[in-house]
Amino acid sequence: MSQDIKTKKKLDKREQYAAKKTPWWFGLHIKDLVNPITVKRVQLSYVGILVIALGFVGYYAWENYLREPTGQEFVTEIVDAAGGMEAWNNLKHGTFTRTHNLYAEDGDVLRTINETFFFKKTDNEVLLQIKSVGEDGSVVWVGKDTDGYWATRDGENADPKDTARAEGMMCDSEFCQPLCASSMAFYRFSMPFKLKDPGIQASIASTGLNMLDLNLMGSSGEEPTLLDIAYDPEVGKDHWRFYVDPQDQLIHKMEYYNKSDMGETRPEEIYWTDHKKEGAITFSHRWTRYWPNGKVMDEYIYSDVDFKNEIEDTFFKRPASSEIAMTQ
């Protein structure tokens, strides 16, 4: 009888012991049989693994969600938003019409010119030819081939430099050549893809824009990201700033700073709105500059875009009857 009682008491003690909560670290204690010291080898291993895992998770979160992208990383983001480099590289030729409206400070229209750009990208350069139609219906062609620049006005030969200057295709530099302004216009049209060229120094800066700027940008209304662009000294000395909307990742404002022949820095501020997709790329179809009083100074409107029909190299050669040329 007493033996039964003792057995029952032992069972009760075992049940009570089993019912107790086992500490989480209980299984981590290992008895070192060589040295009679209790060590926590497995525990240390688990802690090490946990630290590594937390470090990896923290690094992943920082790299992908918390860290501000570098300038070059941000360039890649906005290039992808505009269609990607593959789409731009596959675009070999095309045409588009650019309507230029020039306004006085009181809002009166001073001039309207319709320019059709014909372009073809080769391994070495971009072949460019411009057809300009004035308000009086006169038609001007300006182009360049292996013999130099050429121009015609209403089918008659014309001096390429004088003609291009009259049509606003040249800047005011004494070193400017025909198609200078038109080439710059195409360079801007090529943004943001040209920001992947070698020699680009890209960085991100703060904007400090006011509500008026945000409204003119035609964006989501959120604070834009400012992309600051400079060049390696051997590449160029111009300075660009692009304001990118965080929602669509597209450029909504551009600032361009260049120096005149006299060394004077002349800032240029253009708002890019009305973004549309043409083929595989997306770009702004309306560029606008404003007078200090808030009225539109001039605007460029893009239309009749055609990236499908191929343009032969022979198209860019001067007309057979053209004799007036200007070499570089």
Domain definitions of the chain by residue range = 2-66, 71-316
The per-residue pLDDT for 110 is: 94
Amino acid at 144: K
CB atoms < 10 A from the CB of 102, how many?
Answer: 16
The per-residue pLDDT for 319 is: 84
The per-residue pLDDT for 8 is: 53
* Residues ≥6 apart with Cβ < 8 Å to 93: 119, 120, 121, 307, 310, 311
The per-residue pLDDT for 116 is: 97
Amino acid at 299: E
The per-residue pLDDT for 265 is: 74
The per-residue pLDDT for 325 is: 46
The per-residue pLDDT for 22 is: 58
User: Considering the entire predicted model, what is its pTM?
Assistant: 0.75
Q: What is the pLDDT along the chain (328 residues), one digit of tens a residue?
A: 445 545 555 556 556 655 555 565 555 555 555 555 444 555 556 666 767 766 666 555 545 555 578 999 999 999 999 999 999 999 999 999 999 999 999 999 999 999 999 999 998 899 999 999 988 889 999 999 988 999 999 989 999 999 998 888 887 777 888 998 999 999 999 999 999 999 999 999 876 666 566 667 776 678 889 999 999 988 888 899 999 999 999 999 999 998 766 667 778 999 999 999 999 999 999 999 999 888 999 999 999 999 999 999 899 998 876 444 443 3
* Residues ≥6 apart with Cβ < 8 Å to 323: 157
Classified by CATH at the fold level, domain 71-316 comes out as outer membrane lipoprotein receptor (LolB), chain A (2.50.20)
What distance in Å separates the CA atoms of residue 297 and residue 281, rounded to the nearest whole number? 28
